[in-house]
């Protein structure tokens, strides 16, 4: 995969870099997944990218996260572009319509805890790895998976290490080269099928 970052892009917060990267891969009408809806910033971004004819499937295990996401979408008149799914992303396979298998153009993971919420409720490595496997199975051949990992909270380093280990072992996944800053800075990975 081609090295993507430029000095200007490198200066952006990683959340913006993830959006920038996905923007170049998405078009009107696409089907996409937000694996961690949280406060809905990424879901709203995705809803804008897929347009009126596309759709976003947004997961979270916390009702308050989905409520925050719904409110954000409604404020922009975009709620009809999104299906909110109150379930863990590890259940992706049983939560999406069968006809989307191989059609999902992007899956966004923004791991860790809900900002402004209970910092003890975090994404867990075994669920995240199961969701990454399911995402690959449902991904369009040209689709992208973005994974934002935070290392500063309890469990964050272990989750990051588990994903790095999975990436070293997993065949058929190409990882975009992004600049990584020293611990405890977050890490962004953009993955494609190879
Ligand atoms: C960093 S926040 C996401 C931020 C969000 N993307 C945004 O734009 O505001 C992480 C979210 O992951 C959720 N989460 C934790 N475990 C999960 C799981 N197994 N499946 C889906 N969401 C999960 C948390 O409830 C939390 O809301």
Q: Please tell me the predicted confidence (pLDDT) of residue 5.
A: 65
pLDDT tens over the chain, length 194 residues: 444 567 778 888 999 999 999 999 999 999 999 999 999 999 999 999 999 999 999 999 999 999 999 999 999 999 999 999 999 999 999 999 999 999 999 999 999 999 999 999 999 999 999 999 999 999 999 999 999 999 999 999 999 999 999 999 999 999 987 888 999 999 999 999 99
Q: Residue 115 Cα, ligand 1 centroid: separation in angstroms?
A: 9
Residue nearest to atom 23 of ligand 1 (CA): 60
Cα 29 to chain centroid distance, Å, stands at 18
Q: Residue 131 Cα, ligand 1 centroid: separation in angstroms?
A: 12
Q: Which helix (H) or strand (E) holds 21?
A: helix 14-23
Q: Residue 113 Cα, ligand 1 centroid: separation in angstroms?
A: 6
Decide: helix, strand or coil at residue 190. strand
CA distance 121 to 113: 6
Q: Please tell me the predicted confidence (pLDDT) of residue 2.
A: 43
Q: Please tell me the predicted confidence (pLDDT) of residue 161.
A: 98
Q: Residue 46 Cα, ligand 1 centroid: separation in angstroms?
A: 15
Ligand 1 cavity residues, CB under 6 Å: 35-42, 59-62, 65, 88-90, 110, 112, 114, 121, 123, 127
Q: Residue 40 Cα, ligand 1 centroid: separation in angstroms?
A: 9
Closest CA to 108 of 34, 194, 168: 34
Q: Give the atom of ligand 1 at the shortest distance from the alpha carbon of 127.
A: 19
**Residue of 33, 48, 57, 61 to test ligand 1 pocket, by largest number of atoms within 8 Å of CB:** 61
> Residue 38 forms beta bridges with which residues?
none
Task: Encode pLDDT of 161-189 as tens digits.
Answer: 999 999 999 999 999 878 889 999 999 99
Decide: helix, strand or coil at residue 97. coil
Domains of the chain: 7-20+27-193 (3.40.50.150)
């Amino acid at each position: 995969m081609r090295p993507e970052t430029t000095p200007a892009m490198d200066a952006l917060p990683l959340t913006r870099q993830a959006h920038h990267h996905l923007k170049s891969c998405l078009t009107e009408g696409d089907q996409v997944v937000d694996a961690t809806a949280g406060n809905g910033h990424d879901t709203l971004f995705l809803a804008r990218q897929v347009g009126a004819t596309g759709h976003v499937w947004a997961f979270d295990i916390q009702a308050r996260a989905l409520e925050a996401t719904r409110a954000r979408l409604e404020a922009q008149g975009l709620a009809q572009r999104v299906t909110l799914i109150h379930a863990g992303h590890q259940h992706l396979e049983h939560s999406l319509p069968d006809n989307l298998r191989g059609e999902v153009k992007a899956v966004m993971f923004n791991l860790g805890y809900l900002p402004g919420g209970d910092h003890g409720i975090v994404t867990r490595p075994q669920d995240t790895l199961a969701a990454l496997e399911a995402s690959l199975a449902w991904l369009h051949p040209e689709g992208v998976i973005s994974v934002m990992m935070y290392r500063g909270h309890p469990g964050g380093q272990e989750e990051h290490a588990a994903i790095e280990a999975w990436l070293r072992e997993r065949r058929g996944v190409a990882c975009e080269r992004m600049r990584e800053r020293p611990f405890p800075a977050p890490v962004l990975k953009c993955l494609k099928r190879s």
